[in-house]
Chain A
Amino acid sequence: MSSSDAKDEVVRVDFAFKRELAKKVEGDLANFCYQCGACVGDCPATRYSPAFNPREIMLKVLYGLESELLGPDSVLWQCTNCYGCHERCPQEVKPVEVIISLKNMLADRGLAPPAADKVIQTFMAQGRTVPANPAIDKQRAKFDLPPMGAVPMDEILALIGPEAEEESGS
């Protein structure tokens, strides 16, 4: 192999991507991944989708291959969130948590899929992922259960987002 060929094969680590990921809660855990593949054997998404492989996702994170991870229709949403990889990982990388941190970056870029967006919007409006309504309260009454109580939304919304932190901190 000539030196020029070898140069072509050098992977350039995207440190800007990795620094952005590291700011997410537990986003930097992939640094401890030694690519053993313990996460793969137990992964139901891998079993049913050849496109999804947590070891490969961790490798792409180590290299900082942003374009392969953070596009529209990202394969990351095929994760079943079963936590099998979290259970198995000998390095406590928690691959599922790294994937969730990557999803946080997708959400920052406005690239969450409609199913996720819908639940998030419902929560932001009502503080619940299944909103209360009169039909539900009627069903509850049949079981002698009280109506679902209101969620104090001003309190919930005040907790969300760093902007409000700057305002209230002043």
Chain B
Amino acid sequence: MKRYAFFPGCLIPARHPAMEFAIRSTLPKLGIEIVDLEGASCCPDPIYFKSKDKLDWLAVAARNLTLAEDLGLDIFTNCSGCTATLSETYHLLQDEELRDRVNRRLARVDREYRGTSRVRHIATLVRDEVGYDAVRESVERPLEGLKVAIHYGCHLLKPSRIMQVDNPDDPQVLERLIEALGATPVRHANWYLCCGKACDGEEIPNQMMHDLLATVHDEKADVLGMICPTCFGQFDHGQMKIAKLFDEDFHTPPIYYFQLLAFAQGVPYGKLGFERQRFKPVALQRYEEVAAK
């Protein structure tokens, strides 16, 4: 087993425990041992807390990284926002002057940031340390015929120099991960569009979500696959709002990739918390019925 420190952040453990359950259920089957980080705080979030004071933001993020450094482990994240904060901190603190400023802050609590723990998003951890073939081998019920529209979200891919995840103009990682489950990934016309969550106000994000959901709907996908809990909230709760506002019913259930993986690995539909979603991925149930026959 390869050991990694797990940085769960706020949104997944507090709002979407089913996603955390899926991660803890799937990774050990792929040879990854999860080591919990004691005393971790919010990453802190790369939108609002960063907009308060960037040095405060870097200091708190660097403290979180030191928790993994203390264990001598690389860190993995399950949220694109946490990945953005921790990866950017790792990147910016390669600058000695800035690292000294942050370490003067950390000295107040007897900590020192050294830059010895790499930050990995869970999707790249699986791609690089497990491999698509091992994911495929772990699947007990291949999701043949399931059309999964892909939503990357912004922070997983950009800025690519810092995130070092994939080519932001033609990313492959989610497509290949979906294919490894036997399902069919679909790139819709607005795949590159932002979910709009971080944009203040209502009008702009509503229009963005509408346009994105419309092109997903055009592809007649069964579900909208993603790896970001913030985007997920937009496309689950948010989809209800958009349907009312524009009087259009797109009805495309969002799904977090690791819940889809858990289902493909044989975890029952009823144990994955889908009943809490506004739009439920009922298309999955047919694979359970086939297996029961």
Interface of A toward B, CB cutoff 8 Å: 24-26, 44-45, 48-49, 77-84, 86-87, 94, 100-101, 103-104, 106-107, 112-113, 115-116, 119-120, 123, 127-132, 136, 139-140, 142-145, 148-149, 151-152, 155-156, 158-161, 164-165, 168-169
Cβ B108 vs Cβ A158 within 8 A: yes
CA distance A129 to B84 in the complex (A): 15
Contact B52 A107, beta carbon cutoff 8 Å: yes
What is the bound-complex CA distance between A156 and B66, given in angstroms? 13
B:86-113 near A, CB below 8 Å: 92, 98, 104-109
Contact A158–B109 (Cβ < 8 Å): yes
What size tier do the contact residues of chain B reach? 35 or more
* A159 and B109 contacting across the interface, CB-CB below 8 Å: yes
Q: A123-B44, A152-B39 are in contact. Are A82 and B154 (CB under 8 A)?
A: yes
For B40, list chain A residues within 8 Å (CB).
Answer: 149, 151
How long is the Cα–Cα vector from A108 to B48 in the complex, in angstroms?
14
Contact residue among A78, A84, A100 (Cβ-Cβ distance under 8 Å from B154): A84
Given A26-B54, A81-B154, 16 more pairs with CB closer than 8 A: A45-B204, A49-B204, A80-B208, A100-B51, A101-B54, A116-B51, A119-B45, A127-B42, A129-B49, A130-B10, A136-B13, A136-B17, A143-B18, A149-B40, A152-B39, A155-B63
Taken residue by residue from 105 to 124, chain B's Cβ proximity to chain A (1 for < 8 Å, 0 otherwise) reads as 11111000000000000000
Interface-located stretch among B181-189, B194-202, B248-256: B194-202
Question: Which residues of chain B come closer than 8 Å to A49, judged between CB atoms?
Answer: 204
Which of the residues A48, A104, A168 comes within 8 Å of B208, measured between beta carbons? A48
Contact B199 A79 (CB under 8 A): yes
Question: How close is B199's CB to chain A, nearest CB, in angstroms?
Answer: 4
Interface flags, B40-71, vs A, CB<8A=1, else 0: 11101111111111111011100100000000
Q: Which of B17, B38, B60 contacts A143 (CB 8 A)?
A: B17
Q: Are A87 and B160 in contact (CB under 8 A)?
A: yes
**Known contacts A44-B208, A142-B17, A145-B20: does B63 contact A156 (CB below 8 Å)?**
yes
> Given A44-B196, A160-B59: A151 and B51 within 8 A (CB)?
no
Bound complex: CA A26 to CA B95 (Å): 12
Q: Contacts of B176 on A, CB cut-off 8 Å? A: none
Cα distance A117–B236 in the bound complex, in angstroms: 25
Min CB–CB distance A97 → chain B (angstroms): 8
Q: Could you tell me the dominant secondary structure of chain B's interface residues?
A: helix
Note all chain B residues with C-beta closer than 8 A to A169: 104
Q: How far is the CB of A55 from chain B (nearest CB, A)?
A: 18
When the two chains form their complex, are residues B158 and A87 in contact, meaning their CB atoms are under 8 A apart? yes
Query: Is B3 on the interface with A (CB-CB < 8 A)?
Result: no
B241 interface residue per 8 A CB criterion: no
> Contact: A123 with B49, CB < 8 Å?
yes
The 4 closest A-B pairs by CB, nearest first: A77-B200, A83-B158, A143-B21, A103-B51
Q: Which residue of B lies closest to A102 (CB)?
A: B51
Residues of B1-58 whose CB lies within 8 A of A: 10-11, 13-15, 17-18, 20-21, 24, 38-42, 44-56, 58
Q: Which listed residue (B11, B39, B108) contacts A164, Cβ 8 A? A: B108
Q: Within the complex, what minimum Cβ distance (angstroms) separates A90 from chain B?
A: 13
Q: Which of A78, A81, A84, A169 has the most CB of B within 10 A?
A: A81
The contact of A115 among B49, B155, B193, B200, by CB within 8 Å, is: B200
* Contact call A128/B14, Cβ cutoff below 8 A: yes
The one of A82, A116, A119, A168 in contact with B194, judged by C-beta atoms closer than 8 angstroms, is A82
Q: How far is the CA of A107 from the CA of B56 in the complex (A)?
A: 13
Which of B41, B193, B201 has the most chain A CB atoms closer than 10 A to its own CB? B41
Once the chains bind, are A159 and B158 in contact (CB under 8 Å)?
no
CB neighbours (8 Å) of A94 from chain B are 159
CB atoms of A48 and B207 under 8 A apart:
yes
Asked if B131 CB lies within 8 Å of chain A CBs, one says no
Q: Tell me whether A155 and B54 are in contact in the complex, defined as CB-CB below 8 angstroms, given that A48-B207, A132-B14 are known contacts.
A: no
Given contact pairs A83-B154, A130-B10, A143-B18, A123 touches B50 in the complex (Cβ within 8 A): no
